[in-house]
Amino acid sequence: MAAVKEKILLVTQYFPPDSAGTGWVMEELAEDLQAADKEVLVLAGRTRYFTQGGYRNYQSKIRVKRIQHFYFSKDSKLGRIFNYLSFPLAVLTHFWLFRWADKVIIVSTVPTAIGLAPVIKKIFGKPVYYIWQ
């Protein structure tokens, strides 16, 4: 009988083909986890760094679920605050994916995403690892 693979949900706002450096590092992490015989699903944003057509044409060895979130002008403090809240709130609307995973890794460049870890741990009882860049 085949062993059951550990399921890891990697939550990151940036993932290729986004040009943000964080995304490329996360792709490497996901590929390494997959090479270590883990089942990996990436929950990633749709950023302004790439077009929707580019997302459709990008080929990856990793399963990626893209989620929509809002972008506001970075020129105002209020716009920045809303941007900091947008992605973490969009992640929580995909709560069913957390039940799928054995472990959750959250990668963030925004400080507000740190609030996801205790919520996921409390509601779903999953081990949560947080990488803040």
Helix/strand/coil for 1: coil
Mean of pLDDT values over 33-48: 89
What's the pLDDT score for residue 35?
95
The residues with which 66 forms a beta bridge, in sequence order, are: 44
In this predicted model, what pLDDT tens digit does every residue of 42-56 receive, in sequence order?
998 876 655 555 566
In this predicted model, what pLDDT tens digit does every residue of 59-74 receive, in sequence order?
678 899 988 887 777 7
pTM of whole model > 0.75?
Answer: yes
Distance CA 31, CA 67 (A): 20
